[in-house]
Amino acid sequence: MPISKPRAHKSHHALVLAAAGILLLTMGVRQSLGLFVLPIVTATGVSLVSVSFALAIGQFVWGAAQPLFGAVADHYGTYRVLIFGAVLLAAGGALATLSSSGVGFTLTLGILLAAGTAAGSFAILIGSTHSLSPSARSLAAGIINAGGSLGQLIFAPLVQLLIKGAGWRTGMLGVSIVALMTVPIAWLFREKPQHAASASAPSRGLREQLRVAVRDPSYLYLNAGFFTCGFHIAFLVTHLPGNLALCGLSASVAANSLALIGAFNVAGSLFVGWLGRQYRMKSILAWLYASRAAVIICYLWMPKTVLNVYLIAGALGFSWLATVPPTAGLVGKLFGTRYLTTLFGITLLSHQIGGFLGAWLGGVAMARLGSYDWVWYADIVLAVAAALINLPIKEDVPLKAAQASAA
């Protein structure tokens, strides 16, 4: 009996690191897609609006597929979903190199590749931490999330080098092949998860739990705030290279900026994961969203020098995907961990509805107005609204903080 506990901890640590490795690959691919936009437009003649729409569809599919894949993972195990996703991702990227129309890019990048990255993304991977304690789960989510940010740091400059040296088709084939590296890691998740009953929902089935969740104001507030996160990230990932090109800055500056965002979010994710053990997660989210509004205002006012852009990239990066650990943690706090994968997947769907609008409206604004300014303004307003809407969420004081105040 005393021997089994350390082994369990060791197993948890291995799974958390494996999940971080898979997210490194899938998010590295996904977050570098914006670097392909202008090369695809130039090489194929497909309009910016059409390519933006394809990637916007991808934002929505990425969100919509996660609760579906999450339900499958909850019942049949995670590894089947991860392997299927790796194959979809690789197929979507490879077939995109044969596309020469908006419809073709929508089917390949917008549906196949996006669904593949969804199968190896946050809902499925963070859901694998269900058996950890709430405080340990927050830090584990931060570590997994940091893996995705590290993927952005690694992939952005390498993808840009591939595109510049060998063309966008070779770059897309390269990321498709790398995505298959998730298959051997996925085998670590072969054991079907055993979910402990939650005190908040000891015997609910999935349908009943979903009915409870959609009637809970705190869950709705959380989803509304996460919508803004999706709008913000999708707009930047898709259109930051184009926005910087308008300012006379090179594609390498855009790639380096995306890499800096990823680098700073590694620190941000780990820090926020640690904070979730000490403070209310809703308060952490409110500060993260408010900081985004402040940073974007600074970006719009600053001269667009290389140094200033890099400073803004670092500031944006600290909160970039650091919203994920407290958001997932709140879902677990509100409803327990039995259906964490599915319920957090639904929250990510809200995130990606925002992502669809961010990616698509950025292209529309540029095509019709010749500027991204109004999308930046919308991002500021949404960030302030997200900060405010998280405050009414009902959340207990973290155990560690309660113990410290009692002492």
**In the chain, what are the domains?**
7-194+205-406 (1.20.1250.20)
> Is pLDDT above 90 for 287?
yes
Concatenated DSSP letters of 248-262:
T--HHHHHHHHHHHH
Query: Which residue bears the tokens 């500031």?
Result: 315
Given this model, what pLDDT does residue 340 score? 76
The pair of three-digit structure tokens given for residue 179, joined into one six-digit string: 């995505």
80 or 95, greater pLDDT: 95
DSSP 109: I
- Which of the 8 DSSP states describes residue 110? I
The larger pLDDT score, comparing residue 390 to residue 60, is at: 390
Find the length of the chain: 407
Q: What is the pLDDT of residues 167-197, one digit of tens each?
A: 999 999 998 898 888 888 888 887 654 444 4
Helices 168-179 and 78-96 pack at an angle, to 10 degrees, of 170
Report pLDDT for 355.
Answer: 85
Confidence of residue 134 (pLDDT cuts 50, 70, 90): low
Vertex 35, ends 261 and 324: CA angle to 5°?
40
What share of the chain in percent tops pLDDT 70?
A: 88
The DSSP code sequence of 206-251 is: HHHHHHHHHT-HHHHHHHHHHHHHHHHHHHHHHHHHHHHHHTT--H
Residue 77 in this model has a pLDDT that exceeds 60 = yes
Please give the Cα distance from 319 to 261 (Å, whole number).
9
Q: What is the model's pLDDT at position 131? A: 63
- Per-residue pLDDT, averaged over 45-64, amounts to 87
What pLDDT, in 10s, does the model give residues 1-53? 344 444 444 467 788 888 888 989 988 888 888 889 889 999 998 898 898 88
Residues 145-174: tens digit of each pLDDT: 788 778 878 888 888 889 988 899 999 999
Instruction: Please check whether residue 128 is in contact with residue 186, taking contact to mean a CB–CB distance below 8 angstroms.
Output: no
Question: What pLDDT, on a 0 to 100 scale, did the predictor assign at position 186?
Answer: 85
